[in-house]
Structure 1
Amino acid sequence: MRTGQFFALISLVTILCSASPAETEGLSQRVHVHYYGWYGNPETNGHWSHWDHAVTSKSGPPPGNHKPPEDIGSPFYPQLGLYSSQDPDTLKAHLEMIAKAGIGVVNFSWWGPGNADDRALELLFAEAAKKGMKVNFHIEPYPGRSAESVKENLGYLIDKFKGSPALYRDADRDHLPMFYVYDSYLIPTEEWGSILRSDSPNTIRGTEHDAIMIALYVNQKDKRLLTEGGFDGVYTYFATKGFTEGSTPENWK
């Protein structure tokens, strides 16, 4: 079984605790940025997507949905307008902004095959390759997600993009791709161990779909995902010290 390492993700930016692989000049592969491909508009998609999501309610069910273009599901109105994540010009502009910040790896939020974000992936990989940037994946808690379905997801994504120069691979870890798993605690540690521990007959370890797997660290019990679940590291999604145990640097020992 592998020895887990700690990866700290501060809000949008991930800081890796290892030597970085070969990088395009000016772009750091030690810094990863979350990127969400779920936005859509009538011009590109034929309908609004995510800009019109449910209004957040502190108590009780949502009172309804936001109504774009004036009322949107965001505290800020985007300078580029209510874009579609499947618009090539928008994607190019976003990657230029990311590259200007020196960030070399885009951590793409993924909700499963066939979703709108999945359809944006090919555009992202093509454009990232042109800019010498890399892409990895943030596996979201899609309906029906299980350890076994995540194993299938790894096969799907690795097989689809293994030939792309934009697929992030860690040179210090056998050139394996990387997957972050949001809300990994929703699946029992024992189930994760069935696919991530090297001593399991159903393991991904040593197969063509092996990967660096990073679990979400919210509180102390999530450390079992490292020691017993077979994950290679943990990250915190939250950028506020004290918001969770995992977002508090004093606990990163």
Structure 2
Amino acid sequence: MLHLLLALVLTAVVPALSPQAEGAALSTKTHVFYYPWYGNPSVAGGYRHWQQGGHTPPEDVGADFYPVLGAYDSGSASTVDHHLAWLRRAGTGTLVYSWWGQGSYEDGLVPVVLAAAERHGIKVAWHIEPYQGRTAASVVQDISYLTGKYGGSPAFYRDAAHGNRAAYYVFESLRIADWGALDQVKATSIVLAQTTDVSKVAHFGGMYTYDVLASMNPGGWRGISDFCRANGLVWAPSIGPGYLDDRAVPGNGTPTLGRDDGATYDTQWRNALDPANGGKPDWVSITSFNEWHEGSSLEPARSAPPTRHGYLTFSGAYGKTGAAAETAYLDRTAYWTAQF
């Protein structure tokens, strides 16, 4: 009964939304990092992630912006359908799924996301996170597992321009020194290292950066781009609208990156496409659709969030205010995706 009442309350505070299939033409070369780790009592039986930083959801969450959908559950088919409709509106044709190992909570939610992605014509690639015990050999096993379990889905991403291979981003790849085991999967998989050091990618199929703070001054990107082209690697620099984790990690000293009403995001898109930085990359990876803890989300944030918690809003982004500003970053992504 408590779960049912909470579900009714959460539904009551969520604005009426109709998922929109309209938007820019989908670009499978535009990849966006997606986080399926959120939960609430109505689906997961308790809160997951929203309480990060000592917060007490549903109104008080570990983020500096508050989602239009509230403290949602990543296992809710309705929520995921909204997410995929918004991604389609943004023209982002590839979702990069944050995956934490075989049998993990996030692994269990893959079918929900694949089903929604298929309905919306979006593909799903993989972000292999630094789960406990991760090794180069275990990542090879993970690739076999993901392909065997989910590879039959029409939404499973394969890049026709690169031998019809699947894509796997490896977060914090420098934690592991020897990636020689990846040679076993090169024929079927593009495995990307998170690094700007070309000496660390001997066994990888590509490179990405993830860090949006560094993307404001992308020194060295031209050299990376040239290296990747010369060696048959995929170059997928990462960009994003900003970075702010003050509520999720109170008291930390991490640098922040303000959104500057959208100017930050525009600068990073220009940096990714600038001939001086190597010209158009193979893919552009966007940090992120919904990493709410780090304030990098494109996902709509409420223009009138719960009071007394000090939330910011997207008001002012690209000259928009109120409800129109909630989707400002989705619509600007559609603009830049068209340029790409």
Matched, 1:196 2:182: yes
Give the counterpart of 1:251 among 204, 208, 221. Answer: 221
Residue 117 (structure 1) shift: 1.2
Quote the residue 2:200 is aligned against: 225
Q: Is 1:240 the equivalent of 2:213?
A: yes
Alignment of 1:205 onto 2:204: no
Check the 8 A contact 2:38/2:48 in 1, yes or no.
yes
**Contact 2:136/2:182 (8 A) holds in 1:** no
Q: One-letter code of the match for 1:30?
A: K
Q: State whether structure 2 residue 140 is matched by structure 1 residue 151.
A: yes
Distance 2:81 2:194 in 1: 29
Letter in 2 for 1:196: L
Identity among equivalent positions (%) equals 40
1:107 and 2:82 matched: no
- Spell out the pairing of 1:152-171 with structure 2 (5 A cutoff): 152-171=141-160
Residue 36 of structure 1 aligns with an amino acid whose one-letter code is Y
TM-score, reference length from structure 2: 0.56
User: Which residue identity does 1:40 align to in structure 2?
Assistant: G
- Structure 2 residue runs of 5 or longer lacking an equivalent are 1-23, 224-340
Contact 2:38 2:73 in 1 (8 A): yes
Shift of 1:242: 6.3
Residue aligned with 1:114, SS: coil
Amino acid at match of 2:192: I
1:27 matched residue in structure 2 = 26
Task: State whether residues 166 and 190 of structure 2, in contact with CA within 8 Å, keep that contact through their aligned partners in structure 1.
Answer: yes
Residue of structure 2 aligned with 1:93, choices 76, 82, 90 = 82
Name structure 1 gaps, 5 residues minimum.
Answer: 1-24, 56-64, 198-202
The answer for the alignment partner of 1:21 in structure 2 is: none
Cα distance in 1 for residues equivalent to 2:207 and 2:57:
37
More helix by share: 2
Q: CA separation of 1:180/1:94 partners in 2, compared to 1, >3 Å: closer, same or farther?
A: same
Query: Which amino acid in structure 1 is aligned with residue 185 of structure 2?
Result: I
SS of equivalent residue, structure 2 residue 152: coil
The letter of the residue matching 1:81 is G
**1:119 paired residue number:** 108
Per the normalisation by structure 1, the TM-score is 0.75
**Which residue identity lines up with residue 248 of structure 1 in the other structure?**
P
Report what 1:52 is aligned to: 51
Out of 126, 130, 138, the residue aligned to residue 119 of structure 2 is: 130
Tell me, in whole angstroms, the C-alpha distance in 2 between the residues paired with 1:249 and 1:133. 32
The 1:249/1:161 distance shift into structure 2, 3 A limit, reads farther
The answer on whether the counterparts of 2:58 and 2:70 sit within 8 Å (CA) in structure 1 is no
After superposition, the CA RMSD in angstroms is: 1.8
What is the Cα deviation at residue 249 of structure 1?
4.6
Distance 1:82 1:154 in 2: 31
The question of whether the paired residues in 1 share the 8 Å contact of 2:94 and 2:125 is answered with yes
C-alpha displacement of 1:71: 2.3
Provide the residue aligned with 2:192 in structure 1.
214
For residues 43 and 160 of structure 2, the distance between their equivalents in structure 1, rounded to whole angstroms, comes to 38
Question: Aligned residues, how many?
Answer: 201
Contact 2:97 2:127 in 1 (8 A): yes
Q: After the TM superposition, which of the residue ranges 111-120 and 32-41 deviates more from structure 2?
A: 111-120
Aligned match of 1:82: 71
